[in-house]
């Protein structure tokens, strides 16, 4: 099962990370980016109402994978899987979390930064390896350096990636990239500019040749007036 999920990441490549201070905002972001064509959505566990958000976003269509991030313990992983998460993302590598995910047939993405940590994540059985935080340690140049010895590993750089460089990371060999506020800026979320966020998501995907814009599976909530 997990190999199918990995291929979904390989196909769609843009992982949108939702971390906000209310379930309403999280749902607004999620529905908007999905309407714009995003098919990989991570809801962090510290988002209020994360269970509700995951459940409602899962209703947006079979092509949308919804997972949970900032999963720090095996217990948190089990909780997220119980909500219906398709994948589990941790900022670190914990073999116990990986084992919980594998037992449930969901994808495990483990965090790593240094070469030693990357190898440890791979040996522990992580399906994908989250390179976090990428920007503070050199960004694209750091990924290029890693791709030399680790060209066959499924790396997903995350942290500080934005509109100006997300496509460059993918061009450098990342299997996917994780993006957060750069896709759904806080100022737009605060004003409920959901159509603006949906349009931005669509524009980013056009640059990747991944055009999945839809209006029927998951509609954005109305704009604030």
Give catalytic residue positions. 42, 130
Residue 214 CA: distances (Å) to CA of 35, 56, 177, 186, 198: 5, 17, 22, 24, 10
DSSP symbols for 158-224: BSS--TTTHHHHHHTT-S-EEE-TTTS-HHHHHTT-HHHHHHHHHHHHHHHT-----SSSSPPPPPP
C-alpha distances in Å from residue 34, one per residue of 12, 55, 103, 106, 131: 12, 14, 28, 21, 24
CA–CA gap between residue 165 and residue 184 (Å, rounded): 16
Are 35 and 198 in contact by the 8 Å Cβ rule? The answer is yes
The secondary structure of residue 39, as a DSSP letter, is -
Token output for 201: 């998501």
Q: Find the Cα–Cα–Cα–Cα dihedral 11, 166, 160, 88, rounded to 10°.
A: 0
């Amino acid at each position: 099962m997990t190999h199918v999920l990995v291929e979904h990441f390989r196909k769609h490549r843009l992982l949108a990370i939702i971390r906000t201070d209310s379930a309403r905002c999280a749902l607004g972001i999620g529905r908007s980016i999905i309407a714009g064509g995003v098919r990989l959505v991570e809801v962090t566990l510290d988002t209020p109402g994360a269970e509700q958000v995951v459940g409602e976003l899962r209703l947006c269509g079979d092509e949308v994978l919804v997972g949970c991030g900032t999963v720090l313990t095996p217990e948190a992983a089990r909780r997220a899987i119980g909500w219906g998460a398709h994948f589990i993302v941790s900022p670190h590598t914990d073999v116990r979390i990986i084992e919980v995910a594998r037992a449930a047939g969901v994808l495990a993405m483990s965090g790593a930064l240094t070469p030693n940590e990357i190898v440890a994540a791979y040996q522990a059985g992580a399906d994908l390896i989250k390179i976090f935080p990428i920007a503070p340690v050199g960004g694209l140049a750091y990924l290029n350096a890693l791709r030399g010895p680790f060209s066959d590993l499924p790396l997903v750089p995350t942290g500080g990636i934005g509109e100006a460089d997300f496509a460059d990371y993918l061009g450098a060999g990342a299997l996917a990239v994780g993006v957060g506020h750069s896709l759904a800026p806080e100022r737009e979320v605060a004003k409920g500019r959901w159509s603006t966020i949906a349009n931005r998501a669509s524009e980013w995907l056009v640059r990747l040749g991944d055009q999945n814009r839809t209006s029927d599976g998951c509609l954005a909530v109305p704009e604030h007036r």
